[in-house]
Amino acid sequence: MAFVQNFPFFSIVLSMFAGTVSSVLPQKPAKYLNTAVICIVGTMSAVLLGFTLQTGESFTYMMGHFPAPWGNEIRAGVLEAAMALFFCIIMLLSLLGGRKKLLGEVEITKHNLYYILINLLLSSLLALIYTNDLFTAYVFVEINTISACGLIMIRENGRTIEAAVRYMIMSLLGSGLLLIGICMLYDLTGHLLMSNIREAVAQIVAEGTYSMPLLVTIALISVGLAIKSALFPFHSWLPDAYGYSTVSSAAILSSLVSKGYVFLLIKIFYRVIGFSIIRESKIIDVLFLFGLAGIIFGSLSAIKENDIRRMIAFSSVAQIGYIYMGIGLGTDVGMIASVFHIIAHAATKSLLFVAAIGLTDVSGGSRKFIDLTGAAYRNKVAGVAFTVGSLSMVGVPVFAGFISKFLFANAAVYNSGKMLPALVVLSISTILNAIYFMKTVIRIYTPAKTDYPCITWKQEKLYAVTMVLFMILNIILGMGSQPIVDLIQQGLSTFA
Amino acid sequence: MGANLFANYGEAVAVILFGIGFSNLLLQKNLIKKIIGLNIMDTAVYLFLAEKGYIEGRMAPIVVDGIQSVDAYINPIPSGLVLTGIVVSVSVTALMLSLTIRLYRRYHTLDLDEISTQLKKEGR
Amino acid sequence: MTRIRPDEEVKKGFAARFHNWLYGAEDPVCGHVEMMPQKEFIEEENSILERQKEKEELRKHIYDTEHNREIRVFRVFYKVMSVIFCISLIGVLLVTVSNLPSVGTAERPVNNEVSARYIEKGIQETGAVNIVTGMILDYRAFDTFGESNVLFIATCTVLILLRLDGDSKQKEDAEANDRIYEPKNDIILQKIARILVPLIIIFGIYIILNGHLSPGGGFSGGAIIGAGLILYLNAFGFAKTERFFTEKTYKWICFCSLSFYCIAKSYSFFTGANHLESGIPLGTPGAILSSGLILPLNICVGLVVACTMYAFYALFRKGGF
């Protein structure tokens, strides 16, 4: 067994241990420890990705002295290593971009608690990516929820605490449904390890016993995870939570937290129940419909907004609708499009949030559009970054958003029943996205005479470097997307 | 309706309690009552899970007199899962209660709708 | 003949609204209102109260949610849909439960080879007489590891929300507030606590240490010790409890216990996954010092849970230790 195969386990345990150690450290060492841990975990994931690409198959890793159905295990393959590497990059860039605002908005004594939350969020995301056991997934989903709530309310004013309460209520509803679904699945199959459950489910479907409870169980788990990742009717907590929290929290929440749940749902579809059974049930159609509704509704609400951060948050609702539409298409090509969109959206949305804070800083802290007139001339780096993010969201070629829309349209063509609604909604949503994003870009580039201070890149070197790295990431995803799509395809083929 | 509704009466009661807790969490306006609804929902799930391990006529899974055959003890797995779940439930309740305390100190009301209205009045 | 539309109509029309949306609405007052020369404005108590009352009346009128038809309709709609959803959820779950395997029988999918091995080989492989403790701390130890982190992170979030730091005025206010409610040498409470608290703590320690031999374990024992500490605090007040339990104690106990747990379990997982022999002896089943790592882990978990329970109580009461 190669030493590289220990790396998933090391990543999870290292981030948890760093969280424990940060509880006794003051602010600065906790910050450096956190940055160091994210870099180390990223490097380990990159090495693991190289190893899995070389061997071409996924391996299981026993957590303890006992093999599969009696003990826990985790499993790593191409897709998992790629997602882990990618999440580390996004988390690092979001934290660097929001570091200065964090100093201003949060009390100094609570900074080490914030870094504990970030470390435990990283460990729970890694555990959700690598786990092969359903109950472990539930425990880490709870860690994810609690640390996301902590991230929202670290900036303590009335709006964030109310947003945190609404988030917790919706999220706990989802957790309750997920837990009762897992209990029923355990009752029907008798196993908690994912691969064993799949054999038992195949046997149940073949024999025809327990068909109705199986359908209800799949529905409960899907609805539970959909509530937690803010699919259309359950998105009411999202604009407040993303719009008012501190900027690195907003970037991490929008790009990583909801995507962890979607990835878990994809994993359950592939590894626990089997994609062919899912395709035959009607759950996929329901997810597809809600995805379409979410796209339209999110875009329309974003148009009406007058506050730049809430507008970006509503656009998140639409993008999560895209991902569920891709899952709902029910084909392998659709899944590849969804996973690519997870990556592209994470990169773009965090870029938009960090750029927006740069723009509002030079407008006297106000977030309304009328005060943001000409902000791009006062903070050139943020202006260019926001433009790049908007163009990517609309779907202009060269940027990442174009590739994901192209993959979605391509996937829709393969499924004859759902092709027409999917293509129609894709085109309408592109127009709607263009309306509100282009309006904002034109607004920030309209010259205006104001007394607000200008910020040059020399004054805020860390921020400028982070923005440039974000833009480079976006352009890499846009232009060099073919190897990444091949990687995802190879990963999904060994994912089951 | 399948045949097992009366044989599984414990699970049926657990499911009804789950529904009651769920509706409390959704519909109640008072925050403390929502948290109580959350607790009812979680406890119902643990009842549901603990029912699964029970086998009639067998002892609790602690080895006595060196008897180690499978026919002598109930299934130990659901009990272990419930242990984990109870700790999760306690943690989440503590978090929700401290959020309620902070909100009450600032807005002097426990009604979530009224807090939203007061926020709108303060000006978003 | 030209037809000139009045100004108000133009302002309400579509072109004006689109212009406002595109360019941002202008404040109609800014730059268009004359200012009259003002007298020096002296704040009087009455005028402040009057102005606040006027503002409140105005706001109540603008944000009147009681008489707004749209909000009332939406609220009724939301309630009706929620009730329908919950009743249908209960109905669907009841039908599902009636189709699940029967409770209490031995032939169910749940009673398979997994539980058989736990029962038959539990003592030989883990050394614990209590099969459930052996399962959660040895076979499925990763779940318990995650669960202790759930407790830790919940404590961190409660600390973020409720802890009052430094010498701020808020902290002095909270302490003064708390002193009103502290019992001032309540005789009944103190006499009973003197007898009960040592018994409670000994009982808690007994449950923690015997976690692998009888029902119990770290979580239940820790909760009992936490309850004992809370009783002590209630009977004797913060001044006496701070003699042995301060914030520093809490931080270091939690840090040491969780780090030991993390390191010990990582050693166990690492040796297990790489098929190495872990050098920890299992001892004779039935003795207290047996079952490998389970006893130290129970002690760590018990300490963490006890400190967490006490910390929750102190934070809720006073915002600090």
Q: What is the pLDDT of residue C38?
A: 72
Contacting residues of A for B26, CB less than 8 Å apart: 173
3-state DSSP: chain C helix, strand, coil percent, rounded to 5? 70, 0, 30
Contact B4 C144 (CB under 8 A): no
Token representation of residue C79: 């309630």
Residues C138/C281, Cβ–Cβ less than 8 Å = no
Q: Please tell me the total count of domains within chain B.
A: 1
**Which domain range does residue A398 map to?**
288-496
B116 contacts in chain A (CB < 8 Å): 162
pLDDT in tens, A315-338: 999 999 999 999 998 888 999 999
Residue A59 has φ and ψ, to the nearest 5°, of -125, 155
Average pLDDT, chain C: 86
Q: Residue C14 — very low, low, confident or very high, per pLDDT cuts 50/70/90?
A: confident
Residues whose CB is less than 8 angstroms from the CB of residue A348 and which lie 6 or more positions away in sequence, other chains included: A389, A392, A393, A399, A400, A401, A474
Q: CB burial class (10 A; 0-12, 13-18, 19+) of residue C77? A: exposed
Any domain includes B19? yes
Residues in chain C with CB shorter than 8 Å from the CB of B3 are 98
B48 → closest Cβ in A161, A183, A307:
A183
Decide if pLDDT at A296 tops 60.
yes
Residues 224-283 of C with CB under 8 A from B: none
Nearest chain B residue to A212 by CA distance is: B2
- A446 burial (CB, 10 Å; 0-12 / 13-18 / 19+) is middle
Phi and psi angles of residue A60, each rounded to the nearest 5 degrees, phi first? -105, 155
Residue A462 lies in a domain: yes
Nearest CA in chain A to C97: A213
Query: What residue type is C318 in one-letter code?
Result: K
Q: Do A190 and C153 touch (CB under 8 A)?
A: no
Minimal CA separation from B38 to chain C, in Å: 14
Contact A63, C141 (CB under 8 A): yes
SS3 C253: helix
Give me the percent of chain A exceeding a pLDDT of 90.
65
* pLDDT range class, residue A494, cuts 50, 70, 90: confident
For residues A341 and A323, the answer to whether their CB atoms sit within 8 Å is yes
- pLDDT of amino acid B1: 66
Determine which helix (DSSP H) or strand (DSSP E) holds A76, and give its type and residue range: strand A72-76
User: Chains meeting A at 3+ CB pairs closer than 8 A?
Assistant: B, C
Nearest to B45 among A135, A165, A179 (CB): A179
- Could you state, in order of their start, the residue ranges of all structural domains in chain C? 115-276+288-318
Q: From CA B80, how far away is CA A361, in angstroms rounded?
A: 52
Phi, psi of A332 (to 5 degrees): -65, -35
Find out whether A353 and A254 touch, Cβ atoms under 8 Å. Answer: yes
How many Å is the Cα radius of gyration of chain A?
22
The structure tokens listed for A14 are 């290292």
Q: What's the whole-model pTM score?
A: 0.91
A221 in a domain, yes or no?
A: no
The whole-angstrom separation of Cα C300 and Cα C97 is 39
> Tokens standing for A44?
């380990």
Q: How far apart are CA C210 and CA C205, in angstroms?
A: 8
Distance CA(A232)–CA(A292), nearest Å, equals 9
Find where tokens 């999202």 sit: A238
Distance (Å, rounded) from C-alpha A383 to C-alpha A355?
Answer: 7
Query: Any idea what the CATH number is for the domain that residue B98 is in?
Result: 1.10.287.3510
Give the pLDDT of residue C274. Answer: 87
Number of residues in chain B: 124
The DSSP bridge pattern shows strands A59-63 and A72-76 to be: antiparallel
CA distance B59 to chain A (A): 20
> C132 is written with which tokens?
């459930």
Q: A54-95, pLDDT tens digit by residue?
A: 988 888 888 888 888 888 889 999 999 999 999 999 999 999
pLDDT at position C41 is 67
A146, A183, A192: residue with CB nearest B91: A146
Question: Which candidate from C96, C151, C315 shows the least CB-CB separation from B91?
Answer: C151
**What's the domain count of chain A?**
1
Contacts of A333 (CB under 8 A, 6+ apart): A407, A410, A411, A414
Per residue in C155-178, pLDDT (tens digit) is 999 999 998 876 678 888 888 888
Residues lower than pLDDT 50 in chain B: none
Question: Which residues, other chains included, contact C301 with Cβ-Cβ below 8 Å and sequence gap of 6+?
Answer: C144, C148, C217, C218, C219, C222, C257, C261
Cα A176 vs. chain centroid, distance in angstroms?
Answer: 21
- What pLDDT shows up at residue A107? 86
User: C122 at the B interface (CB within 8 A)?
Assistant: yes
SS3 of C72, please?
A: helix
**Beta-carbon neighbour count of residue B35 at 10 Å?**
23
Contact yes or no for A159/B108 (Cβ under 8 A)? no
pLDDT confidence band for C42 (50 / 70 / 90): low
What whole-number distance in Å separates Cα of residue C61 and Cα of residue C49? 18
- Residues of chain A with C-beta less than 8 angstroms from the C-beta of B35: none
Helix ranges, C105-246 (H): 113-126, 131-134, 141-162, 169-181, 187-209, 218-241
B62 lies within 8 A of chain C by CB: yes
Chain C positions in Cβ-Cβ contact with residue A63 (cut-off 8 Å): 141-142, 269, 272-273
Between CA C319 and CA C163 the distance in angstroms is: 5
Q: Establish, for the pair of chains A and B, how many residue pairs have beta carbons separated by less than 8 Å.
A: 76
CB–CB contact A439 C141 (8 Å): no
- Tell me, yes or no, if B67 comes closer than 8 A to chain C by beta carbon: no
Q: How many CB pairs under 8 A join A and C?
A: 175
Residue B1 domain-assigned (yes or no) = no
Does residue A442 lie in a domain region?
Answer: yes
Is-contact A259 A148, C-beta < 8 A? no
In angstroms, the separation between the Cα of residue A145 and the nearest Cα of chain C is: 10
CA distance C151 to C308: 8
pLDDT digits (tens, 9 = 90+) for A298-321: 999 999 888 899 999 999 999 999
C-alpha A306: how far from chain center: 25
Inter-residue contact B32 to B110 (CB < 8 Å): yes
Neighbours of chain B (3+ CB pairs under 8 A): A, C
In a domain, A203, yes or no: no
Nearest residue on chain C to A1, alpha-carbon basis: C274
Residue C31 predicted with pLDDT over 80: no
Instruction: Specify whether the CB–CB gap between A293 and A321 falls below 8 A.
Output: yes
Mean pLDDT of A383-408: 92
- Could A23 and C266 be called an inter-chain contact, meaning their C-beta atoms sit closer than 8 Å? no
Neighbours of C (≥3 Cβ pairs closer than 8 A)? A, B
Using alpha carbons, select from C147, C128, C137 the residue that is nearest to residue C297.
C137
Q: Do C100 and A63 touch (CB under 8 A)?
A: no
Q: Which residues of C touch A110 (CB under 8 A)?
A: 160, 165
Expressed as residue numbers, the domain containing B80 is: 9-122
Which residue from A94, A176, A113, A114 is spatially nearest to A142, judged by alpha carbons?
A: A176
Query: Rounded to whole angstroms, how far apart are CA atoms C93 and B21?
Result: 14
